[in-house]
Amino acid sequence: MTTDVAVLGAGMHPWGKWGRGFAEYGAAAARAALADAGLDWRDVGSVVGADTVRGGYPGYVAGATFAKALGWQGARVASVYAACASGAQAIATGRAQILAGLADVVLVVGADAAPKGFFRPAGGERPDDPDWLRFRLLGATNPAYFGLYARRRMAVHGDTPEDFALVKVKNAALGALNPYARYRKRVTAEEVAASTVVADPLRLLDICATSDGGAALVLSSLAFAHRYGVARPVRIRAVSTVTPRFPNTVLDLPDIATDSAVAVEPAAESFRASIARAAYEEAGIGPEDLSLAEVYDLSTALELQWYEDLGLCGEGEGAKLLREGATAPGGRIPVNTSGGLASFGEAVPAQAIAQVCELTWQLRGTAGGRQIPGPRVGVTANQGLFGHGSSVVAVR
């Protein structure tokens, strides 16, 4: 039995700072996805909402919130929260419902109205929350972590700030071609180097912003797609939502300590590498089969790390791959053709869904000025706080 599900529709609300509620962004993205699929809202059998957390309330019951905004029609509903991996887990939930025969058509939606500045834990005393602890004990904001990751790459692999700047230059050029991106202006390496230092060695243009925005997908069974007249839909072939293995010997946000490896040998691969491997194994592919990738570039240095974690190159070779032009349009494996978070910023529950929207448009050949030639297989890579893996393989 195939485990593929069809992507009939993809839609987004433009990202930026709009000053409105997340339900409005999500409903707009959902309507766009339904229009793209050529389906009516009443055709949807299930809604899966990707949650956010604001003010201590998890998600505002996101699935039902979107169903209400679109107009109650009796659809099944589910809500999931996995921090930045929420969107991928929502896709996994929708896919599971379709494969279980619970619904022919599932609408997956994520949206956020993000705070200004950087993300921080909700208020209150929560000493059992590692995210709260890193802020309270260390003052380690997300940019501080990004700076530590960059410093580690410089020390271990010889990366330079100039390498990091090239990631921003590449992604900004692609974001300039994306009508949904918040930042649509090309930048130069000199402009990156001249921007304000935020967490040495990273500068303002090395780090993604927080944003409002929304993204949605209409998923269906292959049988429904064929009955509906879609002979060759984009298909989701794998969704990886794995967790880390003990012991974890590399600092990984939000944790501020590592585990001892005295009693148990570390795993043969890092957590992030295991996310991609699980997706490849489920899809029956390898990195050599990829046409493109959308990765979680919270900072420019982290994009280079994903090159290695996805198996696009060997350990420590990410900057070399970038400098060779392999990850740019026209290269061997274009990465972040959407413009990435560098161009969008973070709208947490939407971003893993937005990555699959970009894969869908690329695989259909409808990505406009960003289109790469003849893609057949794409992968996403994302990571949520507290050990949430996230990777989706889409094919056509």
Encode the chain (396 residues) as per-residue pLDDT tens digits: 689 999 999 999 999 999 998 999 999 999 999 999 999 999 999 999 998 776 445 555 689 999 999 999 999 999 999 989 999 999 999 999 999 999 999 999 999 998 887 777 767 788 888 888 888 888 888 898 899 989 999 999 999 999 999 999 999 999 999 999 999 999 999 999 999 999 999 999 999 999 999 999 999 999 999 999 999 999 999 999 999 989 988 877 777 778 888 999 998 899 999 999 999 999 999 999 999 999 999 999 999 999 999 999 999 999 999 999 999 999 999 999 999 999 999 999 999 999 999 999 999 999 999 999 999 999 999 998 888 999 999 999
Q: Tell me: do 224 and 322 sit in the same domain.
A: no
Enclosing domain of residue 31: 5-117+212-235
Cα gap 204→191, rounded to integer Å: 10
Name residue, tokens 């994520």.
110
pLDDT for position 175 = 98
pLDDT at position 56 is 47
| 47 and 145 assigned to the same domain | no
Task: Answer whether 88's CB lies under 8 Å from 193's CB.
Answer: no
**Whether residue 290 is found in the same domain as residue 370:** yes
Same domain, 201 and 216: no
Predicted pLDDT of residue 61: 64
Domain count along the chain: 2
CATH of the domain at 28: 3.40.47.10
Looking at residue 58, its pLDDT comes to 52
pLDDT of residue 238: 98
pTM: 0.95
C-beta separation of 192 from 165 below 8 A: yes
Say how far apart CA 80 and CA 91 lie, in whole Å.
Answer: 10
If 0-12 CB within 10 Å is exposed, 13-18 middle and 19+ buried, where does residue 227 land?
Answer: exposed
Residues 6 or more apart whose CB falls under 8 angstroms from that of 63 comprise: 47, 48, 49, 77, 78, 79, 109
What's the pLDDT tens digit per position in 159-181? 999 999 999 999 999 999 999 99
Structural domain contains residue 124:
no
Q: Are residues 244 and 307 in the same domain?
A: yes
Q: Which two tokens stand for residue 308?
A: 């290695």
Give the separation between CA 148 and CA 199, rounded to whole angstroms: 8
Angstrom distance (rounded) from CA 233 to CA 218 = 12
The SS3 of residue 80 is strand
Answer yes or no: is 122 within a domain: no
Polymer length of the chain = 396
d(CA 217, CA 34): 8
CA nearest neighbour of 213 among 91, 81, 109? 109
Which residue type occupies 104? D
pLDDT given at position 42: 97
Residues 223-265 pLDDT 10s? 999 999 999 999 999 999 999 989 988 877 777 778 888 999 9
